[in-house]
């Protein structure tokens, strides 16, 4: 379970007593591809918390008491194992600034190799397909370019379909005898026509047909966290739409680069590819997303 780790106070104002800040996180062991919920507990309310880890800005947001702050982040599937300092600073109500740092270890994850056979059109795409993939890449870049500055999600994430998830996040994909990629997502077996639901609340930032992804939906959950769903037979949402946790996004299918009908889900935080299966296993706090800000 969660173990408390004391932060080293690097800076305090002259003559002020040491102010205790504790940083905890789950899961306790952070592996390659792990999403991480950081929880910062302060001895008094803060007006502002900013932090960086792995060279990325963490989106810390407060609980109602403003003494507990959360940030949902993660380590990329290809992040080199090692110890990475998390630097955090902020201001207490009244203006007193503080700063601290804490090492966060990223461990090696053991991923599998997976040999697949897919249609040749996907291994040696035609010039037309290549142009389509360039347009798709531009559309995805636009979709990921901006994210809400507060969490749109609230509480734990929910499975998109009822079926058991495949443990294939991080697999090395060997297509027709050649290693082409790492599997940057988790797959769910799903018969064509299975209703697919949003993992959590957010805003649809892409809902369209693409070459590899097939019919695809991308949801912005705020603070640079996105969930991506692929291979739908039919889409039921449009870009720009706000969705609730569990809302129907479309029907599963076998569009795009697939070996058969299934639902592929990816999770992306600040460009890092995280394990959807690991996120679904986490207990997450309510964020009061959508409630009017009173402060």
Q: Which is nearer to Zn ion, 106 or 212 (CB)?
A: 212
Q: Pick the closer one to Zn ion by CB: 2 or 115.
A: 115
Q: Which of 221, 231, 257, 264 binds Zn ion (CB under 5 A)?
A: 264
The residue count for binding Zn ion (CB under 5 A) is: 3
The residue among 201, 187, 167 whose CA lies nearest residue 252 is 187
Residue 100 CB, nearest distance to Zn ion (Å)? 39
For the range 286-291, what are the long-range contacts, defined as Cβ-Cβ under 8 Å and sequence gap of 24 or more? Answer: 286/154, 286/155, 287/61, 287/70, 287/150, 287/151, 287/153, 287/154, 287/155, 288/64, 288/154, 289/150, 289/151, 289/152, 289/153, 289/154, 289/201, 289/222, 290/152, 290/154, 290/201
Instruction: Provide the minimum distance between the beta carbon of 256 and Zn ion in the complex, in angstroms, as a whole number.
Output: 10
CA 49 to chain centre: 20
Beta carbon of residue 214, minimum distance to Zn ion (angstroms, whole number): 11
Q: At closest approach, how far in Å is the CB of 259 from Zn ion? A: 9
Q: Is 171 in the site for Zn ion (CB under 5 A)?
A: no
Residue 210 Cβ, how far from Zn ion at the closest point, in Å? 14
Cβ nearer to Zn ion, comparing 25 with 175: 175
Nearer to Zn ion, 197 or 264 (CB): 264
Nearer to Zn ion among residue 35 and residue 222 (C-beta): 35
Residue 49 or 190: the one with the smaller Cβ distance to Zn ion is: 190
Binding range to Zn ion, per CB under 5 A, among 97-105, 106-114, 180-188, 214-222? 180-188
**136 near Zn ion, rule: CB under 5 A:** no
Nearest CA to 204 out of 169, 244, 155 is that of 244
**Span interacting with Zn ion, options 37-45, 65-73, 260-268, 285-293, rule CB under 5 A:** 260-268
Give me the least distance between CB of 255 and Zn ion, in Å please.
Answer: 13
> Using alpha carbons only, what angle is made at residue 219 by residues 116 and 160, rounded to the nearest 5 degrees?
60
| Residue 187 in contact with Zn ion, rule: CB under 5 A | yes
- Least separation in angstroms between residue 264's CB and Zn ion is 3
Residues that bind Zn ion (CB under 5 A): 185, 187, 264
């Amino acid at each position: 379970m969660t173990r408390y780790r004391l932060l080293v106070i690097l800076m305090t104002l002259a003559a002020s007593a040491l102010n205790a800040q504790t940083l905890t996180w789950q899961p306790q062991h952070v592996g390659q591809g792990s999403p991480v919920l950081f929880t910062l507990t302060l001895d008094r309310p803060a007006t502002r918390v900013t932090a960086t880890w792995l060279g990325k800005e963490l989106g810390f947001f407060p609980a109602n008491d403003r003494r507990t702050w959360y940030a949902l982040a993660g380590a990329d599937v290809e992040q080199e194992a090692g110890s990475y300092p998390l630097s955090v600073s902020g201001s207490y109500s009244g203006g007193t600034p503080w700063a601290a740092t804490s090492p966060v270890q990223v461990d090696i994850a053991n991923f599998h190799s997976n040999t697949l056979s897919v249609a040749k059109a996907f291994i040696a795409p035609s010039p037309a397909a290549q142009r389509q993939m360039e347009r798709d890449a531009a559309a995805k870049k636009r979709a990921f370019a901006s994210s809400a500055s507060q969490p749109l999600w609230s509480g734990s994430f929910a499975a998109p379909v009822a079926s058991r998830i495949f443990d294939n996040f991080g697999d090395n994909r060997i297509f027709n005898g050649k290693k082409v990629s790492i599997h940057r997502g988790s797959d769910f077996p799903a018969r064509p026509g299975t209703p697919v639901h949003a993992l959590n609340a957010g805003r649809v930032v892409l809902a369209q047909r693409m070459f590899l992804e097939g019919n695809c939906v991308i949801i912005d959950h705020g603070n640079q966290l996105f969930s991506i769903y692929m291979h739908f037979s039919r889409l039921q949402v449009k870009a720009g739409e706000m969705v609730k946790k569990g809302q129907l996004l479309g029907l599963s299918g076998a569009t795009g680069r697939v070996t058969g009908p299934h639902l592929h889900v990816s999770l992306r935080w600040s460009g890092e590819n995280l394990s959807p299966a690991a996120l679904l296993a986490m207990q997450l706090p309510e964020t009061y997303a959508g409630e009017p800000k009173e402060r």
